Structure 1
C-alpha cells in the first residue's frame, strides 16, 4: 500500500494541472497601469477609465473580474458617470490587451441627450399645469361661496316685494320721484328707509368745461355771471318760514363747482364743504380744520389764517372773493369784435398748476397781486362794469368787499341796460 499510494496521487495531480492550464488558456490578459509588469489576467473584462476632476485628467487601465459584471450584459462599471464636477469616462472590451490598444475616451463630459423643447414650449409645459390648478381652485372657491350665500339666504314671506325689481318695467323717472315724495297712506312700509339725492342733468357740464370749449357773447357773459351771483345770494340769505332755509356759505366756490344749464345760466353745485349758520344760537356747524377748499381760490384771510371762525360773515366774504375770480374766468372768454382771451385759471401766470398754500399766500397776501385785467375791457361797458365788480370782490379786507346781493343787483341793472331778459 505504501508503495502504490504515490502512484495513485500522480494522476490526480496531472488532472489538476491540466485544469489549471485550461483555465490559464481561457483567461483574458489586460493592460494594467498599477499591476506588476503592467499586465493582469481576468475572467471578465478589460477597462480603461479617464478621470476628470478640477481640470486635471488621469488615465487608468485595469481588469474587471467576471463576478463584478453586474448586470452581466451591461455592467455598471462600464458606464460613464458625472457627480459634483467629477467625470468618469469609461470604455470596456473583451480581447487581450484591448484596453491598451483602445483609444482613450474623450476628456470632455459626456454630452446630455438633446431636448426637442424650446424656451416657449418649456414655459408652456411648466405654466400649463399651474394655470389648470389655479382655475380648479377658483372654481372650487366659487362653488363654495355660492353654497354659503344660498345657505344663509332667509326667505321673506312677509315682504314679497323684495323678490321683485325695485323699479318696475315702464316706470319713468318722473313717476319714481313722485312716488318717493308722496306722503299719503302706504308710502312707507316702516321697515327700512332709503335716501336718494336726485339732481338735474346738465349736458354742458361745469363752467370750467364750458369756458374751455366755447367763447361767450356779452349777453352770455351776463347770463352766466348774474345767475351765479343770484345762486350765491340765495345761499347766503336766511329765509324764515315753513319753506325757509338757514344761511349757507359754500367755502369751495370755483368754476369746476358751477354747472351750466341748457339755457346758458348757472347753478352752484358741490356743497360738500358748506357750513350753515343757526341764527337762533348764533353758531356755525364747521369742522375743526378751517383751511379747506381749493388753494387757488382761497381768500387772503384764509391763506394767512386771520379769518374769524366764529363769525359767519367771514365765510360769506371768502365766497365773494372766489366769485370775483370766477367772473374773471368768464369775462376773458367774452368775444368783442372777434377778440377774446384764451381760457386760463386765476393766477395761471403767477403760480404752478397745483400751487401750495405758501405759494398762494406769497402772491395774494405778501405781494398783494390779483389777476390781470386786460386794457380792452375798458372799451366795452359790460366788461368795464365786470372789471369794477371783480376789483371790489378782491379787497384784502373782507369787510370792504361787496355782498352777493349787491352784486346781483348791479348785474341785474347792467342786464337791463343791455336789453337782456333773464
Structure 2
C-alpha cells in the first residue's frame, strides 16, 4: 500500500498491542497509549515511526506489549518509514533506543512521487467513509424492518404453538447450549446466542421452580433440552433494567469465566401479558450472600471466591481495543447478592442492569437511561454525599472497588481460622437498620467515616490480616487513593500463593 498505508497499519496494530493480558512477560510501556509505566503481554516491542520527515517532524518512539500469536507475526518488521523490534524476555525492550531502531530503516525508493501518498490517503479516508455511510443506511433500514417484524410476530402468533419459531428451531436442532455458545463466540455476535436463536431457545424453555424474588421480579430454574438454565423474569415496570442488561450482555468479548454466562433475552407474551426474560447459566449454589449465610468456608476457598470476583471485575473494567473490541464497563451495583457461586467454589458477577460503559476512542460515556441507583448499604462515600464526578468513568470504577472491599469483608467473616468463624452479617449490620435509608448510610459512612467492624482474631491469622489491609485500601474516603481492580487481583494472588507455600512448608 505504500508508506502511508503501512503507517496506518502500524498504528492499528500498535493499538491492538495495548490490550492487557492475563499472563505473560512484563515490559516497559512508553507512548500516548500507555496507562502505566509497565504492561504485561506475550512479547515486548519497541518501535520508531517517521511521521513526516519531509516536513522535519521528529520520529515517534514507542515501547509496550503485544498480546496473542497473530499480532507479532504481522507487526515485527521494518519498512522505509517504520521499524518494530520484538523480544520475548521480561523487560527486554527497556534498553532499546530510537537511534538503534532508526539505523535499521530500509532505504525508500527515490523515484516515488509525493502525490502517491496524498492519493493513497484520499482513498483510505474517503473510501471507507462512503462505504460506512452506505452500510449505516442499510443497517437502519434493516433494524426498522426487523423491529416491525418482531412486533408483528409477538402479537400474531401464540408462542406455545411456535408456528414461525419452528422454522428457526430447525436450525437449532439437537445442539447443546455449550455448542451454540461456542459457535456464537467464534462468530463475533456478542456474549450470548445469535438473536434469532435467542428467541427460539426462550420459547422452548419450561419453567420448573422459582428460586428467588426481588424488586426486579423473579428468578426461575428452567430447562431447555434437559439442561438447567436460569430465567430472570423482569416486571413490566422494570423494562429499562431488562433492556440495559440485555444490551450490556450482548457486548462483544464480554464472555468471561467470572462473568455470569448470558444465553438469551426475549420479550414474550404469556397469559395475555408481556414478560421480559433474561436467560443465563444456572448455578445451584445461588448467590454469594445465600451461600455465606448457610456455609462457613475454608481459607483457600474464601480466597478463591474473592480472587475470582476480582478477576471478573478486572475484565469488566478493562477496555479491549480493536474493530471488534470491548468497552470498559463499571458495574455500579456490586454486592454479594449480585455474585453467584459456581461448583468449583469460584464466583461470577451478575446483574448488569445499572452498568455504565466507556470507550477511549471517542471518549464516550454511556450511562444508559435507567434512573435507578445502586444498593444503599454498598454505596461509596462520594455517591452518598453526591460529590461523585458523574462525567468521569474512573469515578464509577472506584465505586465498584469500594463495594468489592465490603464483599471481601463478608467473605472474611465466614472464613474459618483456627477453628473460629463469625456468623454471617451484612456490612454495617451493627451501625444501620436492616433496610437503611440514604441518610442512615450517609451519616455513618460520610459524616462519622466509620467502616465495617474488624474482629481481633483476624489480626492473629496472617492471611486474614493481609485481607484486612487489602479491604482497608478499598475503603479510602478519597476515591483516587483506592486500589485498582487489577492491583486487587494481583494482591489476592500473592496472598493465595503465600497460603499455599505455608501449607507446603508444614
| Matches of 2:416 and 2:431, distance apart in 1 | 25
| Matches of 1:312 and 1:164, distance apart in 2 | 44
Q: 1:377 aligns with which of 458, 475, 479?
A: 458
| 1:173 maps to 2:173 | no
| Matches of 1:289 and 1:200, distance apart in 2 | 25
Q: Which moved more, 1:163-172 or 1:322-331?
A: 163-172
Q: 1:216 aligns with which of 297, 301, 309?
A: 297
Contact kept? 1:206, 1:256, Cα under 8 Å: yes
| Matches of 2:462 and 2:320, distance apart in 1 | 34
| 1:207 maps to 2:288 | yes
Residue 337 of structure 1 is matched in structure 2 by: 418
Distance 1:378 1:277, change over 3 A: same
Q: Write the deviation string for residues 113-153 of structure 1: whole angstroms up to 9, x where unpaired.
A: xxxxxxxxxxxxxxxxxxxxxxxxxxxxxxxxxxxxxxx98
| CA displacement at 1:279 relative to structure 2 | 0.8
Residue 320 of structure 2 is matched in structure 1 by: 239
Contact kept? 2:312, 2:349, Cα under 8 Å: yes
Contact kept? 1:290, 1:309, Cα under 8 Å: no
Alignment of 1:93-112 (within 5 A): none
Contact kept? 2:157, 2:163, Cα under 8 Å: no
| Matches of 1:357 and 1:200, distance apart in 2 | 33
Distance 1:285 1:329, change over 3 A: same
| CA displacement at 1:274 relative to structure 2 | 0.5
| CA displacement at 1:193 relative to structure 2 | 7.5
Distance 1:178 1:263, change over 3 A: closer
Contact kept? 1:283, 1:310, Cα under 8 Å: no
Distance 1:160 1:327, change over 3 A: closer
SS of alignment partner, residue 425 of structure 2: coil
Residue 399 of structure 1 is matched in structure 2 by: 480
SS of alignment partner, residue 500 of structure 2: coil
| Matches of 1:364 and 1:166, distance apart in 2 | 53
| CA displacement at 1:200 relative to structure 2 | 2.5
Runs of 4+ with deviation above 3 angstroms: 159-184, 191-197, 287-291
SS of alignment partner, residue 271 of structure 1: coil
SS of alignment partner, residue 281 of structure 2: coil
Contact kept? 1:202, 1:259, Cα under 8 Å: yes
| CA displacement at 1:284 relative to structure 2 | 0.9
| Matches of 2:320 and 2:183, distance apart in 1 | 28
| CA displacement at 1:245 relative to structure 2 | 1.3
Alignment of 1:79-228 (within 5 A): 166=169, 172-177=176-181, 194=198, 197-198=262-263, 199-228=280-309
Distance 1:296 1:370, change over 3 A: same
Contact kept? 2:333, 2:375, Cα under 8 Å: yes
| Larger Rg computed on CA atoms | 1
SS of alignment partner, residue 357 of structure 2: strand
| 1:322 maps to 2:325 | no
| 1:308 maps to 2:389 | yes
Residue 229 of structure 1 is matched in structure 2 by: 310
RMSD: 3.2
Contact kept? 2:331, 2:355, Cα under 8 Å: yes
| Matches of 2:179 and 2:372, distance apart in 1 | 43
| Matches of 1:235 and 1:279, distance apart in 2 | 15
| Matches of 1:418 and 1:222, distance apart in 2 | 9
Distance 1:217 1:283, change over 3 A: same
| CA displacement at 1:213 relative to structure 2 | 1.2
Residue 266 of structure 1 is matched in structure 2 by: 347
| 1:411 maps to 2:414 | no
| Matches of 2:405 and 2:371, distance apart in 1 | 21
| CA displacement at 1:379 relative to structure 2 | 0.7
Between the two proteins, the alignment pairs up a number of residues equal to 261
Q: Write the deviation string for residues 66-117 of structure 1: whole angstroms up to 9, x where unpaired.
A: xxxxxxxxxxxxxxxxxxxxxxxxxxxxxxxxxxxxxxxxxxxxxxxxxxxx
| Matches of 2:322 and 2:177, distance apart in 1 | 30
| CA displacement at 1:174 relative to structure 2 | 3.8
| Matches of 2:282 and 2:319, distance apart in 1 | 27
Contact kept? 1:299, 1:318, Cα under 8 Å: yes
TM-score (norm 2): 0.47
| CA displacement at 1:389 relative to structure 2 | 0.8
Alignment of 1:360-371 (within 5 A): 360-371=441-452
| Matches of 1:202 and 1:153, distance apart in 2 | 33
Q: 1:350 aligns with which of 405, 421, 431?
A: 431
SS of alignment partner, residue 259 of structure 1: strand
Q: 1:283 aligns with which of 358, 364, 375?
A: 364
Distance 1:178 1:234, change over 3 A: closer
| Matches of 1:165 and 1:312, distance apart in 2 | 40
| CA displacement at 1:418 relative to structure 2 | 1.2
| CA displacement at 1:229 relative to structure 2 | 1.0
SS of alignment partner, residue 305 of structure 1: coil
Distance 1:243 1:354, change over 3 A: same
